[in-house]
Amino acid sequence: MIGIFDSGIGGLTVVRAFMEQMPGYDIVYFGDTARTPYGNKSPETVVKYALENTDFLLSKGAKIIVMACNTASSVATEKMAERFDVPIFEVITPAVELAIKTSGKSGIGVIGTMATINSGIYEKKIKQANPDARVYSFPCPLLVPLVEEGWLNKPETRMIVKKYLHPLKVRQINTLILGCTHYPILKKIIQQKIGKRVNIIDSSIAVVGKVKAFLENHVEVDSMLYKKGECRFFVSDVTEQFKKTAKDILKRTVILEHVRI
Amino acid sequence: MIGIFDSGIGGLTVVRAFMEQMPGYDIVYFGDTARTPYGNKSPETVVKYALENTDFLLSKGAKIIVMACNTASSVATEKMAERFDVPIFEVITPAVELAIKTSGKSGIGVIGTMATINSGIYEKKIKQANPDARVYSFPCPLLVPLVEEGWLNKPETRMIVKKYLHPLKVRQINTLILGCTHYPILKKIIQQKIGKRVNIIDSSIAVVGKVKAFLENHVEVDSMLYKKGECRFFVSDVTEQFKKTAKDILKRTVILEHVRI
């Protein structure tokens, strides 16, 4: 089946995108809710967690791995490729490719956690594809706690989003990458504050397109994946808030299975 | 020496109180920054972490343990006492005792993380001491991220504090317990928003009074504690933000030693 992990439950936006774009594929999800968030932790620690999470998903029968977490994708991709033989997908390259297509000569904005932005990965990948691109990256550390708290439409959330986006607003971007799988949950507010004319790239949707294209070209991998439409959701910690947010994201009640990593 | 642990670096407010009230005592601190925060995690997970943290501090020569974390104090105290032979101090009882003294017949407010408030521990302990007490408890989950982000005096922080304190404001309390070791860092704003006449109880100061009284009555324990004024600070993850916040709290540069738990 398709193995997906995230630092917590933000990665369920990726599961949602899989359910919409590739319905029927079995999924095993792991959310590292006992150690969440990753975004304010060091690269060494995040790499260690990414490797442990992948070991767990492989033990559950995953044949391909999707890192549904920008922080892990930004610091652990190389180490993951060294360590594991299965196909591994990260959420950064697909978003960058989409952004390059749509941005033309205008600037590209990137928002993400402190760890993702400090890694400089988006800027590096965009410049590799287009050395003339103008890229403006800003960390938005409070957005993950705001989403986890369920403050999705409060005035304080709107003010904080506005404050974070202000430096992008004045730089005439036409494309904004949501470099964190929690942020699609705030997409409406982000669109309002950055302006209607800015094209928002949702990395959760972008990565599914990438997996789909890969499987069409690799039928030997595709044939190993079960397609009974079954999903299992494992988490390293269970709380009422996680259950509620999971339900909000997937629009259905989700059974969270507790596992010690 | 005196062993102190917290989910992260909020517990440094307790170290600061020790330095002020009991200068000279050697301290070994552990901040679990690789797994922070604890406040939105389940009791089982927090208990596991508290036991692991204590094992580490004992291995470093701690002779007494202070849980400088309200979340751990609220769910792990019993298990800690079962498992370890050394004197263990938690931050809840000392704050409750102070609150009972000053509140008279007025209401007592308590603010803390989701886990602390959900545990009901403050209410239980206050009612044990004074069955007639009126207690109003509210979780303030965003205050820890706001402190960690360093947004100590922003308008958004003021708005969020005001919103969280509103239900307490209308209930005529005269005493407010800061049930999280991060909150003393926001004490000034909290005092402004709750009103000058409300007496704020800072659990970080309260616990040091308790330890001091204990050692005066237990010279055999006191004699085992080094008093060379040395402090060591261990953390399970190191980032620039942690270093900065540590410096802000202790008003001096702190060497954070990285350790894997």
Segment B127-146 shows an average pLDDT of 94
Segment A209-238 shows an average pLDDT of 96
* Local confidence band at A57 (pLDDT 50, 70, 90 cut-offs): very high
Please give the Cα distance from B238 to B259 (Å, whole number): 9
pLDDT at B7: 94
Tell me what ipTM this predicted complex has: 0.87
Is residue B134 located within the same domain as residue B235?
no
Is residue B84 located within the same domain as residue B209?
yes
Is residue B97 located within the same domain as residue B79?
no
> A238-241 — which CB contacts under 8 Å span 24+ positions?
A238/A33, A238/B42, A239/A33, A239/B40, A239/B41, A239/B42, A239/B114, A241/A148, A241/A149, A241/A150, A241/B40, A241/B114
Catalytic residue among B80, B92, B180, B235: B180
Is residue B33 located within the same domain as residue B159?
no
Last residue of a domain, one of B178, B203, B228: B203
Is residue B179 located within the same domain as residue B151?
yes
Strand partners, B135: B108
Interface test with B, best of A9, A33, A38, A42 (most B CBs within 10 A): A42
* Local confidence band at B105 (pLDDT 50, 70, 90 cut-offs): confident
Q: What is the dihedral of CA A70, A71, A73, A76, to 10 degrees?
A: 180
Is residue B73 located within the same domain as residue B147?
no
DSSP helix, strand, coil percent of chain A (3-state; round to 5): 50, 20, 30
If interface means Cβ-Cβ distance under 8 Å, which residues of chain B face chain A?
33-35, 40-42, 44-45, 114, 141-142, 145-146, 148-149, 151, 155-156, 159-160, 163, 236-239, 241
In chain A, residues with a C-beta closer than 8 Å to the C-beta of B159 are: 155-156, 159
Question: Residue B239: pLDDT above 90?
Answer: no
Is residue B127 located within the same domain as residue B147?
yes
CB A68 within 8 A of CB A43: no
**Both tokens assigned to A97:** 């490719």
Question: Residue B148: pLDDT above 90?
Answer: no
Percentage of chain A modeled with pLDDT above 90: 86
pLDDT at A241: 82
Last residue of a domain, one of A203, A227, A248: A203
Segment A241-257 shows an average pLDDT of 89
Is residue B250 located within the same domain as residue B197?
no
In chain A, residues with a C-beta closer than 8 Å to the C-beta of B151 are: 142
Q: What is the CATH number of the domain that holds A246?
A: 3.40.50.1860
Is residue A84 located within the same domain as residue A211?
yes
Is residue B119 located within the same domain as residue B107?
yes
Q: What is the dihedral of CA A29, A35, A37, A41, to 10 degrees?
A: -120
Domain, as residue range, for A48: 2-90+205-258
Active site amino acids of A? 69, 180
- Count of structural domains, chain A: 2
Is residue B220 located within the same domain as residue B169?
no
Instruction: Measure CB to CB from residue A149 to each of B45, B141, B148 and give the nearest one.
Output: B141
CB B76 within 8 A of CB B46: yes
Strand partners, A3: A28, A65
Tens digits of residue pLDDT in B168-186: 999 989 999 999 999 999 9
pLDDT at A179: 96
Is residue B49 located within the same domain as residue B96?
no
* Local confidence band at B208 (pLDDT 50, 70, 90 cut-offs): very high
Q: What is the pTM of this model?
A: 0.91
CB-based contact B237 A42, cutoff 8 Å = yes
Instruction: Measure CB to CB from residue A156 to each of B159, B238, B239 and give the nearest one.
Output: B159
Tens digits of residue pLDDT in A204-223: 999 999 999 999 999 999 99
Q: What is the dihedral of CA B48, B49, B52, B53, to 10 degrees?
A: -150
Interface test with A, best of B144, B160, B163, B261 (most A CBs within 10 A): B160
Q: Is B180 a catalytic residue?
A: yes
